[in-house]
């Protein structure tokens, strides 16, 4: 049976940077690496809300990306 070991966590802020000629939103993301793997979703969301006013564009979404190492 395979096991997964959490190796790395990344916080991603998805920012709405404008609209295209068809009226659809254009998004860009800003990634923050070296996030503690033990960080709770609430803590990451609070950090994202604290960083949002420092950005040039509006915050659209907050994502957490976890990377795991799979072993047999």
Domain ranges (residues) in the chain = 3-71
Give the pLDDT mean for 61-71: 97
Nearest Cα residue to 9 out of 62, 65, 68, 50: 65
* The two structure tokens encoding residue 58: 């509006």
Model confidence over 12-29: pLDDT tens digits?
999 999 999 999 999 999
Model pLDDT, residue 50? 98
What's the pTM? 0.86
């Amino acid at each position: 049976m395979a096991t997964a070991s959490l190796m790395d966590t990344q916080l991603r802020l998805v920012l709405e940077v404008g609209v295209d000629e068809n009226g659809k939103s254009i998004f860009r993301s800003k990634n923050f690496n070296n996030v503690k793997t033990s960080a709770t979703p609430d803590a990451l969301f609070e950090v994202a809300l604290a960083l949002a006013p420092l950005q040039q564009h509006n915050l659209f979404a907050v994502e957490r990306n976890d990377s795991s190492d799979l072993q047999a």
